[in-house]
Structure 1
């Protein structure tokens, strides 16, 4: 049996078990004022797999840049046990190591040099987490990117707040592989009693996961409507749909089958930390803003599963409120910045969404009529995104879909 991840650094004391959300709607994004907004990234890589930086440096960057939680999700590995990496001879990486050594000191950094070869022992989650975690300021969530495949197609899922490392499950089709891995996470969640979530990563990466594949899944509540890696085809191409359009079709199908709504995340999927380029997977491109009772794993996952969050590539919202079938959205006003709010939804019996209302202002209210299957809001800013990928130059945000009050009782 795999060694159980050290629990001293998981900040989970006193949390109750969070059950899977059975309802079909994020019923009420209006939350008590005692709840706070927390900014986080749920998809990040380090030297523990195919990232190019030490986890301490990465976590320091996120903390210094206004994030409150991060899941360091390396491929098929958790940051425990002994692992050494060989630092490339390129001066950029050798200089970065010298900076790391200067910042943390010989008592922290264990390394060995033999000729031109430089090897460094990586610090474990249990070792580096205490450097950064602060109550209500910064939380690190133990995570893994389960990286499976089928006939050469990369099938990746992130598990957040895992209890033990999950080895990739195999299967006889794309859907079977994905479903087996989703089930493995849900089984661990049930057995461990820990709040835990799984999400599908970048379906269009190498065109591995189709809309039809996604529709056939069960127990999946999240996927990446935006991923900051330059090779994941957020927008699709001339013959294949992008993530936002895929999201709507999935939800129409899920509701027809009586499954809960799928929620959309924005993530970095960061790998490259030394150079900034539209061709590199850099940090700071996509995140989620979660409204929760506390900066704790259980509270964050509970809020995510209730849809009390929005995804963003730069737009900041100061109000996301759904009550009495009124969806109210208000972006933080900025001088010289214009906003376009599009309320996108699907009517009962229809097979695709449409833009139901467009408001060119930083705030708007939309009446969610009973004949609507669901409604969400996309907010586009005139402000350029810093270091964008694909043809997505402006800052965006996506709220989660909501249903007319009581609609979930009919399914």
Structure 2
């Protein structure tokens, strides 16, 4: 849905300094009539790793469901070589093959028959050439660098990757993340390709704590919502939910480590594309809405690096306006839905001393520590389609969350409502 909107009307000094929601180099008010919302998913799997469908079939689903861009991110592989697979041995089996045959009858390469029937997986460049539509739909190459430390899965997605990146391995969880970030940075610098790396599902296997991620340099993105039902977005009685982890990270990066803001993504992490909807990892659960001038990988990534986007699991926004006085959120409402808009932040001087989580024997668990309720507190709350927050002058950062009264139609976790997450901005007193 390509609606042109004015997303930020004023560009105060503190927003420009933070590179957050800074939509132009000048500081005069302006409208963004030359830019459009672009809806996309940056975490997708196919038959090239552990997904149950073919690249072209997956691309067709997203294009038909009003997405503007899609990043393929199979595990530790790029779809850049010829590969033949036994149809009956693929995760999607005959169901995926029959759909492929019906939708793309004119370009399937196959050999053998019966139980020995094989099909050639189309390379990314072939699929992109067929599916891309200038200014309308774009496929972007990516990779899920699937690393681990001991038994902790550490997965990171690279969007617009040029060359496959090997898992870098490290001395601990933090070091493993940092090494993979560095590898992506080095490829970007060496090749000149505009690339973006982000941490996937930190609560998958409860592998990554806030303390691991808060001090990583060069990492600006992580998944605040992942549509896979096995990644524990909400945490449990001993593990913090992912949104709480985000606030702990933000407070420490700004108050302790002098690092930039970290932005939150919503993604599908799609693996299962048949019999929809179902309780597996389906497409269509989470996405990003990026405001940019061109539907090109470089433009999309640069806009996201400025914070010119929001994450969503179903709520659409009409505008987010920031100036020196505060922030205003306006929802693009759906019939029959009501909206709760919350402004969330942490104030300067908040106690950031965390306490360990203890097991039944009183021993510390490897889990995000317990912090004051003032870390990521709700600063203001409003019911309606528009709400404003006036900066008090002592905030480290402010972000916003919008929750619909309508439950998610295909939730990854029971009880999820449709939501949107607005990226954090620096408080007016933070340099």
What TM-score, normalized to structure 1?
0.90
| Mean CA deviation greater in 200-209 or 317-326 | 317-326
Q: What are the Cα deviations for residues 169-202 of structure 1, in whole angstroms up to 9, with x where unaligned?
A: 1212111111111000000011111211000000
Q: Residue in 2 aligned with 1:4?
A: none
- Cα distance in 1 for residues equivalent to 2:395 and 2:190: 38
Matches of 1:303 and 1:35, distance apart in 2: 11
Could you tell me which residue of structure 2 aligns to residue 9 of structure 1?
none
Distance change in 2, residues 1:403/1:95 (3 Å): closer
| Displacement of 1:313 | 0.3
CA distance in structure 2 between the partners assigned to 1:333 and 1:146 by the alignment: 37
The alignment yields a C-alpha RMSD, in angstroms, of 2.0
How far apart, in 2, do the equivalents of 1:68 and 1:138 lie?
5
**Map of 2:126 onto structure 1:** 127
1:261-284: CA deviation from partner (whole Å, max 9, x where unpaired): 000000000000012355300000
Following superposition of structure 1 onto structure 2, how do residues 188-337 of structure 1 map, counting pairs within 5 Å? 188-256=187-255, 257-277=257-277, 279-337=279-337
Residue 389 of structure 1 and its aligned partner are, at CA, apart by: 1.4
Contact 2:53-2:92 within 8 A present in 1 as well: no
CA distance in 2: counterparts of 1:277 and 1:259, whole angstroms: 40
The answer for the alignment partner of 1:374 in structure 2 is 397
- Note closer, same or farther for the CA distance 1:165–1:101 as it changes in structure 2 (3 Å cut): same
Q: Distance in 1 between matches of 2:18 and 2:229?
A: 33
Runs of 4 or more above 6 Å deviation: 89-92
Alignment match, 1:164: 163
Q: Does 297-306 or 325-334 show the bigger shift? A: 325-334
Mean Cα displacement is larger for which, 44-53 or 320-329? 320-329
CA distance in 1, matches of 2:95, 2:155: 32
1:93-114 C-alpha deviation (Å, 9 max, x unpaired): 3143123123222x51112235
* Structure 1 equivalent of residue 357 of structure 2: none
Q: 2:20 aligns with which of 26, 39, 42?
A: 26
Deviation at 1:90, TM superposition (A): 9.8
1:50 is aligned to 50
Q: Classify the secondary structure of the residue corresponding to 1:186.
A: helix
Which sections of structure 2, spanning at least 5 residues, go unmatched? Answer: 1-14, 24-29, 353-374
**What's the CA shift string for 1:115-166, capped at 9, x where partnerless?**
4233211000111101121121111111000011111221100000111111
- Report Cα offsets for 1:3-52 as digits up to 9, x if no partner: xxxxxxxxxxxxxxxxxx99545154686221110000000000011000
TM-score calculated relative to the size of structure 2: 0.86
- C-alpha contact 1:24 1:258 (8 A) present in aligned 2: no
Instruction: Name the residue aligned to 1:390.
Output: 413
Give yes or no for contact 2:47–2:90 (8 Å, CA) kept in 1.
no
When structure 1 is superposed on structure 2, of 26-35 and 330-339 the one drifting more is 26-35
**Inter-CA distance 245–91: structure 2 relative to 1 (3 Å threshold):** closer
Given that residues 16 and 22 in structure 2 are in contact (C-alpha distance below 8 angstroms), is that contact kept between their aligned partners in structure 1?
A: no
CA distance in 2 between partners of 1:255 and 1:28 (Å): 18
Contact 2:72 2:140 in 1 (8 A): yes
1:95 and 1:403, CA in 2 relative to 1: closer, same or farther beyond 3 A?
closer
Q: Which residue of 1 aligns with 2:40?
A: 40
Give the distance between the partners of 1:325 and 1:98, measured in 2 at CA. 57
Instruction: State the SS of the aligned residue for 1:128.
Output: helix
2 CA distance for matches of 1:24 and 1:376? 13
Alignment partners' CA distance in 1, 2:168 and 2:292: 32
| Paired positions, count | 387
Q: Secondary structure at the match of 1:407?
A: coil
Q: Secondary structure at 1:240's aligned position in 2?
A: coil
CA contact (8 A) 2:52 2:90 kept: no
Contact 2:88 2:115 in 1 (8 A): no
Matched, 1:145 2:168: no
Is the 2:278–2:410 contact (alpha carbons within 8 Å) kept by the matching residues of 1? yes
How far does residue 246 in structure 1 lie from its aligned partner after superposition? Answer: 0.2
Which whole-Å CA distance do the structure 2 matches of 1:310 and 1:113 have between them? 48
Conserved? CA contact 2:181–2:219, under 8 Å: yes
Question: Which has the higher mean CA deviation after the structures are superposed, 361-370 or 111-120?
Answer: 111-120
Partner in structure 2 of residue 80 of structure 1 = 80
**Structure 1, gaps ≥5 residues long:** 1-20
